[in-house]
Structure 1
């Protein structure tokens, strides 16, 4: 595995001209000439990447319907993401571009503290953002502003303008993902029902004894989604995240065991996958406002 820690190393690996700025770059994928030794090699990118694929042949593992836009697929990756370049093909062409920026560019800015709001940086490639012509035009116009800014003579305003344009780009991406969720309502409603059924199956005393508490990562993997995409999808469709659904389902099971069994509190805590009875007590207090023992007494358990 090759770790790419800087923009200049990325340019070198891709056989691309020297970068104009040490912390941000735009690369035309049509013109790259990767070195032979880097084919069939895994890379770890230690910066943020936004990549647009201009192709009508963008196959996804799930969720593709006739109403999806096909003009372009916008993908996002956060630092530490693993990527791989396949074997060289004689007819190989890549129509698109990628915008990369190092965390140091934004580390001292307000954008740094907002990056967790842009959860799509942790989506899988098959959860790419499919842009309409109008959306693609907006994205590329902002990217052009960024290119002009870092390619010119840098001054005291350069970083502020670069970062503000990046934030505008990310906010548009958030809006466009919201549109994508809306246009996929039929598919997503079906996925929500599958999620609820799977969660119920995994949230029984028997299932927890076998596999432990349900986890967002495991549920997402079973449904073919990344954890962030699953939570964002559920939030858009139901108003609740995946973790909130898990808490509610665990609470329902805990209430059933408290009211309909005579098992001591410590045993119920163990059945539900809590390592310590005190953690179970804290969970019930946070959700119901009373301790497990008090809940039993109040409801005649």
Structure 2
């Protein structure tokens, strides 16, 4: 596996001139001086925001149902894997790819909250599909970023770059919100399938055998990334995936406390808790009283 750890490697790979800022670069792959043949998987330790424009490209980001033909935006966090890419596929990539090193935002407000932008961890088929107007908006921000990092570096350079990157990410968050609203029917279907999955899980012996269901388990069963599933649930229900699991768990515990005479410890084990006291802690946190007090 090829590993890319700095912006300079990206510039060398595509024949970019060594630009004036070592932590950020903008690629237009189909216009690159060198069109590489990438025959192995790549692990990139950089943030990447890519806009695929024009005709459909076969780079293995994948595509699914979408709303607009204007373009597809892909966001990747450091450490994610990109599949091998042929030279022909790179030549077909119309659009741009903004790449920056984590050090650029380290010790900034954006660096402290970068994980709040959960779309960096979505799966490929959960990409953002933007309209022509939205494309103009974000491309304008990217043009400003490009113009800034090509100037001589001064004491304001990092602040200007980071504030523009944050603006770009906030637009992405807004447009993802729009996409989830326009896919209302699909989102409601996800909620129903999630609820059905939890009911099926807790009605079986799986909690006793395998413990509590994790967000990752649920997302894999439904065919989505954990972050995307949580964001859809939050949009539709006001609770993310973990909160939904806890909600269903507490409701199930209430039924067992009032509908059976089993001790609290037994109920905890049947619900998948490794340690019974963990049920009591969670129950009191959510309901305000202990399981025994609730039963009384």
TM-score range, shorter chain: over 0.9
1:200 aligns with 2:199: yes
- Gap regions ≥5 residues in structure 2: none
How far residue 99 of structure 1 moved from its aligned partner, in angstroms, is: 0.3
Q: Spell out the pairing of 1:1-301 with structure 2 (5 A cutoff).
A: 1-32=1-32, 33-36=34-37, 39-57=38-56, 62=64, 64=65, 68-89=67-88, 92-204=91-203, 206-297=205-296
Cα shift readout 1:158-215 (whole Å, capped 9, x = no counterpart): 1111111111111111111111111111221122211211121112352312432122
- Gap regions ≥5 residues in structure 1: none
Call closer, same or farther: CA 1:91–1:103 in 2, change over 3 Å.
Answer: closer
Which region of structure 1 is more displaced relative to structure 2, 84-93 or 287-296? 84-93
How far residue 281 of structure 1 moved from its aligned partner, in angstroms, is: 1.2
How far residue 251 of structure 1 moved from its aligned partner, in angstroms, is: 0.7
- Verify the 8 A CA contact 2:29 2:35 in the aligned structure 1: no
* TM-score normalized with structure 1 length: 0.91
- Verify the 8 A CA contact 1:201 1:207 in the aligned structure 2: no
Q: Which runs of 4+ in 1 moved over 6 A?
A: none
Which secondary structure does the structure 1 equivalent of 2:272 belong to?
coil
Call closer, same or farther: CA 1:271–1:58 in 2, change over 3 Å.
Answer: farther
Call closer, same or farther: CA 1:134–1:61 in 2, change over 3 Å.
Answer: closer
Find the aligned partners of 1:58 and 1:277 in 2 and give their Cα distance. 52
Which secondary structure does the structure 2 equivalent of 1:263 belong to?
coil
- Verify the 8 A CA contact 1:24 1:99 in the aligned structure 2: yes
How far residue 17 of structure 1 moved from its aligned partner, in angstroms, is: 3.0
Which secondary structure does the structure 1 equivalent of 2:205 belong to?
helix
Which secondary structure does the structure 1 equivalent of 2:9 belong to?
helix
CA RMSD across the alignment: 2.0
Which region of structure 1 is more displaced relative to structure 2, 145-154 or 112-121? 112-121
Call closer, same or farther: CA 1:61–1:144 in 2, change over 3 Å.
Answer: closer
Which secondary structure does the structure 2 equivalent of 1:50 belong to?
strand
Find the aligned partners of 1:92 and 1:23 in 2 and give their Cα distance. 25
Call closer, same or farther: CA 1:207–1:55 in 2, change over 3 Å.
Answer: farther
- Verify the 8 A CA contact 2:21 2:153 in the aligned structure 1: no
Find the aligned partners of 2:24 and 2:57 in 1 and give their Cα distance. 27
How far residue 89 of structure 1 moved from its aligned partner, in angstroms, is: 4.0
* TM-score normalized with structure 2 length: 0.92
